[in-house]
């Protein structure tokens, strides 16, 4: 069974997530520095960014240098790595650029991790053009959703820094429809791991999040 480790870090407390499997780790949003990596874990084989804002890719090159793993990001956010204005580091007063992405996805990929686990990439634009959610499946069953800055506990990602509110609403509507299709409940909810803040649940957000309640 996959273990999920959260590593919140930095002024904006973005969260790096590690999915720990037998023989490998998957790293989502390389914002925490490598020295925060807990001891005794298997090697990092995959690095994925939910979107291209600076607080979610701040250590992209450091993690690549340490692990040899490639960095994947949606093609619509690929230039965030090489453009300090697009990744907002210029706006934050700390101009930063990074090496180009190693792998680009379009939001329809399914990454096979081992015989039991895979990550499905969902393109959920709005916070940024290339924002994605990543669904972890184990034995074909959905077990965790990494929502980046698309969905938070009780809130959603802002759209006033180059985002699009209409696209975000459409993405949220897709999440609500998927939640209803799979019949999640209070007793059997899908854990959601957002890019900032605390873990929540998809059904919980559908029921309580003011940005989702009227979208079904």
| pLDDT of the chain, 216 residues: tens digit per residue | 899 999 999 878 999 999 999 999 999 999 999 999 999 999 999 999 999 999 999 999 999 999 999 999 999 999 999 999 999 999 888 899 999 999 999 988 999 999 999 999 999 999 999 999 999 999 999 999 999 999 999 999 999 999 999 999 999 999 999 999 999 999 999 999 999 999 999 999 999 999 998 775
Which helix (H) or strand (E) segment holds residue 40: the answer is none
Radius of gyration (Cα) for the chain, nearest Å?
Answer: 16
- Kindly state whether residue 175 falls inside one of the protein's structural domains: yes
The 10s digit of each residue's pLDDT in 4-24 is 999 999 878 999 999 999 999
- Kindly state whether residue 215 falls inside one of the protein's structural domains: no
Tokens representing residue 196 in the block: 């900032």
- Kindly state whether residue 44 falls inside one of the protein's structural domains: yes
Backbone φ and ψ for 75, nearest 5 degrees, come out as: -60, -30
* Cβ–Cβ < 8 Å for 123, 106: yes
pLDDT value of residue 216: 59
pLDDT value of residue 22: 94
pLDDT value of residue 121: 97
- Kindly state whether residue 82 falls inside one of the protein's structural domains: yes
* pTM for this prediction: 0.97
- Kindly state whether residue 168 falls inside one of the protein's structural domains: yes
pLDDT value of residue 189: 97
Q: Pick left, alpha or beta for residue 86 (phi over 0 → left; psi -120 to 50 → alpha; otherwise beta).
A: alpha
- Kindly state whether residue 184 falls inside one of the protein's structural domains: yes
pLDDT value of residue 51: 98
- Kindly state whether residue 59 falls inside one of the protein's structural domains: yes
In which domain, by residue range, is 82 found?
A: 3-208
Where residue 141 sits, what CATH number does that domain have?
3.60.15.10
Residue spans of beta strands (DSSP E) within the chain: 3-9, 14-21, 24-28, 44-48, 71-74, 103-105, 110-112, 117-123, 132-138, 141-148, 151-152, 155-156, 191-194, 200-201
* Cβ–Cβ < 8 Å for 210, 153: no
* Overall number of domains in the chain: 1
Indicate the burial class of 112 (C-beta count within 10 angstroms; 0-12, 13-18, 19 or more).
Answer: exposed
The 10s digit of each residue's pLDDT in 80-111 is 999 999 999 998 888 999 999 999 999 889 99
- Kindly state whether residue 214 falls inside one of the protein's structural domains: no
């Amino acid at each position: 069974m996959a273990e999920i480790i959260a590593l919140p870090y930095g002024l904006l407390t973005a969260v790096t997530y590690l999915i720990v499997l037998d023989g490998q780790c998957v790293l989502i949003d390389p914002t925490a520095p490598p020295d925060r990596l807990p001891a005794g874990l298997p090697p990092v084989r995959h690095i994925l960014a939910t979107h291209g804002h600076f607080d979610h890719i701040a250590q992209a090159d450091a993690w690549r240098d340490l692990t040899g793993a490639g960095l994947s990001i949606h093609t619509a956010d690929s230039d965030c790595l090489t453009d300090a204005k697009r990744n907002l580091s210029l706006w934050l007063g700390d101009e930063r650029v990074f090496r180009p992405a190693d792998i680009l996805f379009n939001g329809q990929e399914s990454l096979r991790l081992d015989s039991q686990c895979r990550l499905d990439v969902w393109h959920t634009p709005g916070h940024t053009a290339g924002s994605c959610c990543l669904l972890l499946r184990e034995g074909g069953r959905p077990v965790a959703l990494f929502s980046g800055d698309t969905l938070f506990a009780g809130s959603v990602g802002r759209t006033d820094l180059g985002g699009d509110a209409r696209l975000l609403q459409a993405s949220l509507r897709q999440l609500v429809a998927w939640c209803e299709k799979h019949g999640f409940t209070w007793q059997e909810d899908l854990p959601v791991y957002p890019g900032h803040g605390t873990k929540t649940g998809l059904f919980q957000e559908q029921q309580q999040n003011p940005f989702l309640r009227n979208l079904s």
